[in-house]
Each structure stands twice: as C-alpha cells, then as structure tokens.
Amino acid sequence: MSTAQIISWFVAAITFGTVIMYGCIGETINQKAGGLNLGVPGIMQIGGIAALASAFIYESSAAAPSPAAGMIITLLAALAASALGGLLYAFLTVTLKVNQNVTGLTLTIFGTGIANFFGGNMMKLSGGVGTISVAATSGAFRTKLPVLSGISGYGSIIFSHGWMVYLAVIMAFAASYFLTRTRTGLNLRSVGENPATADAAGINVTRYKYLAAVIGCAICGLGGLFYVMDYIQGTWANDSAIEALGWLAVALVIFTSWKPRNAIWGAYLFGLCYWAYVYIPIGISRYLAMKLKLENVTYMQNLYKMLPYLVTIVVLCVVSRRRKRENQAPSSLGQSYFREER
Amino acid sequence: MNRIAISMRGINKRFGKKIIANKDVDLDIYHGEILSLLGENGSGKTTLMNMLSGVYYPDSGEILVDGQPVTITSPKDAYDLGIGMIHQHFKLIDIFTALENILIGLPKDNTEKKCRQEVGDICQRYGFDMDLDKKVYDMTVSEKETLEIVKTLYRGAKILILDEPTAVLTPQEITRLFTILRNMRDDGKAIVIITHKLNEVMEISDRITVLRKGENIGTVMKTETDEQKLTEMMVGEKITLDIARDFVENKAKRLEVKHLTVENSDGKKVVDDVTFDLYSGEILGIAGISGSGQKELLEAIMGLQKCEPGSSVVYNSTAHGVHELVGLSTRQIIQYGLHLAFVPEDRLGMGLVGNMGMTDNVMLKRYRKGKGPFLHRRQPEATAMKIKDELEVVTPALDYPVRRLSGGNVQKILVGREINNKPTVLMTAYAVRGLDINTSYAIYNLLNEQKKKGVAVIYVGEDLDVLLALCDRIMVLCSGRMNGMLDGRTAEKEEVGYLMTHLKEEA
C-alpha cells in the first residue's frame, strides 16, 4: 500500500467517523439520562434533509447566495428539525411513557420516510437524480483550514477537513467534561442511573429527560447535516445510506462504554474498518477469496464491510467480561419512570 | 410538651378506585421526640409518610408544618420544609461515591469542599463514621443507611422519617443506629420510625401511633403500653404471640451435605465449603445477613446451581432410597420428594407465574404426570380448591391471575403447593416476608405440622426472634461460610447476630 493510499484511507475514515461521532455524542447524552433512543438513524436523516432543503430553498431564491448565510441557515434548520424529533421522542417516552424501543424504531422509520419524501421531491424540482446542488453552502462547510491545510504528506490526514470535523472533536471533549465534571452532568447521570433517587434528591427528572433528548437529538442532527453537506457534498440520494451510519452511531455508544471521549478514536476506528474494503490490497483479498472458495474476489468487499459490526461484537464481549460497574449502561436505561408506582 | 413539628389533618389517599391507603388520618409529630408508626404491611404507614416526603400527594386533607399550612408536591418541597425521608429501598446511586450521592440535586454553591467540611461536622456531632470517597456498591447495608441519614441531615432536615430502618441490620448495627437516633432526638430533631417490629418500638420510641387498614387506631405513650396491647391495636383482635415448638422423636438423617461449594459467574465463592446434616422431624433455621449464600445454598441442593467439584449432597429416605443429588437434574430431585418454596423480593420472580391462575400454577409442577398431549385440568383444579380452602386464600376465582392477589395470598399459594406435593424435604426462604401477623402465624403452623409429619424442614428467615422461637437448630451463614450451628432452644440473639457478621478465623 502506498503512502498516498494510506493517507487517503485515513482521510476517508475521519470524514466517515465524524458523522457517527456526532450521532454517538448525542445518543450518549440521551442514554445517560436513561433514554434509549433507537431513532438516531431517523434523527440524522431529519437533520440531513432539513439542512439540504433549507440550503436548496435559500440558494434557489437568492440571486447570489452567500456561503456564510447558507451555512447559518442550514445549521439552524438542522438543529431545529432534529431537536423537534427529540421533543417528539421525549413527549412519547417521558410524558406518555410509551415503550422506548418501539418509539425509537418508529422514529427511525418516520425519519427515513420524511427525508426521502422531501429528498425525492427536491430531485423532481431540480430535474432528476443527482441534480440537487447547493454548491455555495456545501462549499462553505468544506472550506479547509487556512495555512494548515497546505501541509502535505501525513499532516494532511489531520488538516485537510472542513470545520465540522474539528467541532465534533471539541464537542466530544465538551460532552465528556460536562458529564463527568459538572454538577448538571452529575444530576443528569443520576437521572439515568436511578430516577427515583434523583427525584427524591429534588431533581426535576422530567425536565432533565426532555432536555437530554432534545439536545442529544440536535447533536445527532449535526451528524446528518455533515453527511449531506460534506460527506456526499451537498446532494441527496434516496438510498437511506445515512441509516446504516445511524446504527453504527448507536453501536459506537456501547463501544465507547458511554464515554464521549472514547468516541473520538472509536469513530475513526469504525471509519477505518468501514473503508477497509477499498484499501485492503487486492493480493490479500484474492488470497482470502481463494481460501474461502469464493467465486468472485469482490465478494470479499462485502465481508470487509462487516468489520465495524464485528469490532463492536468483540468489544461487547470484552466489556461484558470486565464487568466494571462504571463501564456498564446506565441502570435505568430504557425504562420509564413512574413516581407513584406501587 | 415539646413544640409541634408537623400536623396532618384528615388525610385521605386512594390508589385506583378500590385501594384505600389512608382514610381520615390525623397525626402529630413533635420536635425532640421519637414517634413510632406501627402497623402491619399494607396498613398505609409508608404511604402516609410519603405524602410528607413529596412522593405522593394526598387526595384530601391538610398538612401543617410548624403551624403553617403547606403544599408538598415534590421531594424538593419536602426538603425545603426540612422534611427528610430515608426510604426502605435506599435512594442511592451505586456507581457514585458517597460525596456525589450527597451532592446530586443541590444548588451549585454547595461546593465539594464545603460539603466535606459540613459532613465532617455532622458525623462528629452525632457519632457517624463515613468515608466520603467510597463507592456505594462497596458499602455494607449499614454504611448505606448512614449515608442516607447524613445526606438528609446535610440538606438541613429537622424532621427525619425512617422507613423500616432496621429491616436488614444486625442486632449490633441496630444498637448503634438507635444511639444515633437518640442523639438526634436530644438535639431537637423530630424523628419518625415506620416499623412493624414490636420489640424495637418498645426500645426506641417515646410515642407510638398505630395504623390499621389505613386508619389511625390511636396514639399511646410508650410508658403506658406493652407489646400485647400494641399487637391488639395492630391486628384488631387478641392473638397469642407464641410459636409452638414440639420435639419430634425418632429423627432420621435425610440430607448429608458435605463440602458444598458454589461459585458465581465472577468466580467468587458464594457458598463456601458448607457441611451439615438435616434430619426428619426438625426445622433447621438458616440465619445470615441477606446475600450470605442462603439462596445459592438452597438452589444448589435443588440442582439449580452448579456445584464445584468435591461437593456432595447425600439424600436418604425410606421411600426413595439413598442418592447422591449433586449432578442430578432438578426434575429428578423433585421426584425424590425435595421441594423448595423460595419467596424472592419481588415474590413472583421464582415459583409462580404471575399471569396464570391458581390452577395453572398448581399444574406447573405436575403436568408431566398427565398422559397424552392434552392437559388434564380436573385434578389440579381440585388441588387448587383444597389449597384455597385450607389456607384461606382470598381470590375471586381459581383462574384469576395470581399477580393481582395480595402478597400474603401469593405466598400461601406457593407454600401450599409445595406442601401439597407431600415433600420429604421442604425448603422455604423468606416465607413470611411482607406478611401480616396472622398470616405469618398460619405459615409457622403449617411448617410445624409438616415437621410433626416427619418432614425435614429448612427455614431461611430474616427475623431473628422468629428463628429463635421456631427452629430446632440454627445454622448461621456468613459470606457463604457456615459460621456456627446453634441449638434453637438455647441460642441467644446476640450470639446469632455476632456470628452473622464476624467470620470465625480458621483454626
């Protein structure tokens, strides 16, 4: 494998990892408050389509679209739409106490549907598959760092990205600091561990659960926005490809044992695994294909694509054997809280 | 007379349409006094206090704190009024340290430093001993209780409510707790203890209020009453508090347990080299703080736990011959006449299926006796009817889901079913947990009857007074090890309590 290939593999991994890192940070906050939101894939699609649609409307109505304005509009739209998704989730699971698994899965189906509905219509408006273009806004998201991006060689692995890649890393540190070092974070974790205890300590459990769902989903939505604007460069395809990344984000939460800081390397590792199929030398694939008696060497690629999931399973096995109490899921994860239960 | 802290006037609380938890209750709580709230399970003691701690809201009635009418809609309101409640199931977060548990939900001006200092002061003042950096999951029950009290005091509680504080403590720990409670009383705090243990009521309280079926039956000064009078107030009728203990002649060895060892999934020995014999016609009591291996020991004998090599359980009966039970399937062991009635904390976790009725639950243990692929309901139905009549189970119908019955009825069905299978060995664990006095005595009588019939009975219990009154021999478990075998007729309570907590050094 040449140096250039290695660099391009890592660059692809970081871009990929950024999408799921946002999803993972958002979902971790949600889960730390006891909300198992399986709607992450749906929320990401809602965030993505809201970003694209707002940019599309803005760019097709303005004569000379300003990249900065486009960026702000899309950010606000994505945050608002995904936060609304979170509000819906919180209303159903916290106020109406609907089963969290069912709500989350339904939210995923809902998000996929609504995103593809608007995505399909936008394609019609713009004239066909692959014709949606929000060049100005997407370009703004993909603007690289001044000066530093000029570094070539291995430095370009770190410095050749749009600003949202770095924001994700900052957010991972910030979320980690928030959860472990602040009093609000302590209260939030206590809600996820034992809502009855939190309630008895005078914490407003409902408010914490709502805010965790809304803010968590808003962060997930940023993942969708990044996917649309940077990863696929400002267009849309009705292939629900974000959904696969959404599930990986949920897997990543478990992989990181609910510690957002671990999401930084975890997400990039998932990215490396995901893109491995492109970069694993053909010689190795041929050899493996022969050993496995596969007719076509390209079948190996499908096997490689399973790597992130395989890694998650291995990590789950290791974590479950370690049994350290602090690395387990929040105790009340997935359960509704009734104060007057008897 | 001391200053009045809280007055409750005409408090009513219902759950759903049918269950009346509290009916027109008036109650006064004074500063500088320990009030015991006495009543059987389900008499509405905890519910009443939960309305002070903000967990429940009364349907009607008035609450006055220091003479002012107040509305308490959340635990936070209660704290603001200086009311702190220590619940029976501790409200602590296992993976947090003691300090973090104290700090949750407090305003940010309570810094770590301030908290450490003030907690130190509180500990010194009342005689607590606490490590603020210890994780809750590393704590003993007694340490958790201390943490709960300190947490409540740190929040400035002047009125402390303790729900069954002694339920899981050893006699020594109870003595220490009572000393602390007296210190707090002398400091002017109002203290309420919810309990159903009469001897403790007589030891600690200044005044006693008795609740029955949600109503206040009356308040008496401790100096003007005794245990017999209090029982009558609690139950509403005269009952004798003596448990019969007959001596059965011609005992035969039923079980010979040797070097029984069970490891849990972490590789820790939960039952460690336990050796004892069990005879027909005796009740063998097993004492120990909860989680000392009682459950695992019984399950190992029943073949529900994997025993480590070297373990042996030899079973000997005239009807079934001599067998080594280790390695046999549970089904086989049941056929030999060993039966286990285990009442877990949630009652329905093991033993009965909550959504099934009595008949189906009886059938669970005998459906294999039927021939052909279809179920034969007639005989189990007759058995269920017999259990219902003999044990006075209150149920609308035999096929009514047992989940909806009260705890006492559920336990009667469970024990009744096991007895009906004509056991040679009957093992019960926590058979009277959560039962009222009458039902408890009904269960003790059932066990005594079995003993007289020559059944070998194992009784795992929590209440030391009952163990000492009911059992012929008492085996004490401590950390999975057998820490003593005492004669039930001569053993002292303090001795049992000591053995429960102090593992003897290997000679």
Tokens 């009222």 label which residue?
B436
pLDDT above 60 (res A59):
yes
Higher pLDDT, B337 or A256: A256
pLDDT digits (tens, 9 = 90+) for B421-457: 888 888 888 888 767 777 788 888 888 988 998 889 9
Q: Best interface-test mutation with B: which of A32, A178, A188, A190 has the largest number of B CBs within 10 A?
A: A190
The answer to whether A200 contacts B100, with C-beta atoms less than 8 Å apart, is no
pLDDT, residue A342, reads 40
Supply φ then ψ for residue A37, to 5 degrees: -95, 100
Residues of chain A contacting residue B92, judged by C-beta atoms under 8 Å apart: 194, 197
Which of A181, A194, A333 should we substitute to test contact with B (largest number of B Cβ atoms within 10 Å)?
Answer: A194
User: Taking CB atoms and an 8 Å limit, are A340 and B85 in contact across chains?
Assistant: no
- In this predicted structure, the answer to whether residue B346 has a pLDDT above a threshold of 60 is no
CA distance B350 to B355: 13
- Helix pair angle (A241-255, A205-226), 10° resolution: 130
Q: Which of A187, A340, A342 has its CB closest to that of B104? A: A187
Closest CA to B68 of B158, B5, B161, B2: B5
**For residue B507, what pLDDT is reported?**
44
| Count of Cβ atoms closer than 10 Å to residue A300 Cβ | 20
Lowest mean per-residue pLDDT among A47-56, B95-104, B352-361, B403-412: B403-412
Cross-strand pairs, B12: B60
CB spacing of B93 vs A190 below 8 angstroms: yes
- pLDDT in the model for residue B342: 67
Whole-angstrom distance, CA of residue B361 vs CA of residue B358: 5
Find the range with the poorest average confidence among A117-121, B407-411, B443-447: B407-411
pLDDT of residue B239: 67
Return the percentage of chain A with pLDDT > 70, whole number.
98
The Cα of A342 is separated from the nearest Cα of chain B by a number of Å equal to: 9
Query: B454: exposed, middle or buried (C-beta count within 10 Å: 0-12, 13-18, 19+)?
Result: middle
Note the pLDDT of residue B411. Answer: 80
Inter-chain touch B96–A198, beta carbons under 8 Å: no
A340 at the B interface (CB within 8 A)? yes
User: What pLDDT is recorded for position B378?
Assistant: 84
Kindly state the tokens that stand for B88.
């029976």
User: Which residue of chain A is at minimal alpha-carbon distance from B104?
Assistant: A187
Q: What's the count of helices (H) and strands (E) in chain B, helices before strands?
A: 16, 20
In chain B, residues with a C-beta closer than 8 Å to the C-beta of A183 are: 103, 106, 108
pLDDT tens digits, A271-315: 998 888 888 888 888 888 888 888 888 888 888 888 878 887 887
What is d(CA A88, CA A190) in angstroms, rounded to the nearest whole number? 23
Tens digits of residue pLDDT in A124-150? 888 877 778 888 899 889 888 887 777
Q: Which residues contact A247 (CB under 8 A, 6 or more apart)?
A: A40, A41
Q: How far apart are CA B89 and CA B162, in angstroms?
A: 11
pLDDT at B370 over 50: yes
Query: Tokens 């080594």 correspond to what residue?
Result: B324
Lowest-confidence segment of A161-170, B279-288, B495-504 by average pLDDT: B495-504
- Cβ contacts below 8 Å, chain A against chain B, sum to 63
Interface probe with A: pick from B93, B139, B268, most Cβ of A within 10 Å: B93
DSSP state of A162: B
With an 8 Å Cβ cutoff, is A257 touching chain B? no
A124 touches chain B (CB under 8 A): no
Q: Which residues pair with B279 in a beta bridge?
A: B253
A175 neighbors A258 (Cβ within 8 angstroms): no
Q: CA of B434 to nearest chain A CA: how many angstroms apart?
A: 14
Q: Which amino acid is at B237?
A: E
| Contact flag A193-B56 (C-beta cutoff 8 Å) | no
The mean per-residue pLDDT over the stretch A72-90 comes to: 97
pLDDT of residue A328: 84
Q: How many CB atoms lie within 10 A of CB A137?
A: 30
Q: What is the pTM of this model?
A: 0.81
Q: Do A203 and B15 touch (CB under 8 A)?
A: no
B220 burial type by CB count under 10 A (0-12 exposed, 13-18 middle, 19+ buried): middle
Distance from CA of A322 to the nearest CA of B (A): 10
Long-range pairs for A119-127: beta carbons < 8 A, 24 or more residues apart: A119/A49, A119/A52, A119/A236, A119/A237, A119/A238, A120/A238, A122/A52, A122/A53, A122/A56, A122/A236, A123/A236, A123/A238, A126/A56
CA B498 to chain centre: 20
CA distance B274 to chain A (A): 28
User: Does position B506 have pLDDT exceeding 60, yes or no?
Assistant: no
Question: Residue A180: its pLDDT value, please?
Answer: 94
User: What is the pLDDT confidence band of residue A263, given thresholds at 50, 70 and 90?
Assistant: very high
Which chain B residues are closer than 8 Å to A195 by Cβ? Answer: none
Residue B167 has pLDDT above 90, yes or no: no
Tokens of B242: 């003596």
Residues in chain B with CB shorter than 8 Å from the CB of A194 are 91-93
> What is the rounded average pLDDT for all residues in chain B?
87
| Cβ pair A9, A278 in contact under 8 A | yes
Strand B481-487 and strand B473-478: the pairing is: antiparallel
Locate the chain A residue with the closest alpha carbon to B155: A201
CA distance B265 to B246: 42
Q: What percent of chain B is modeled with pLDDT above 70?
A: 95
User: How far apart are alpha carbons A315 and B147 in whole angstroms?
Assistant: 36
**Residue B192: its pLDDT value, please?**
96
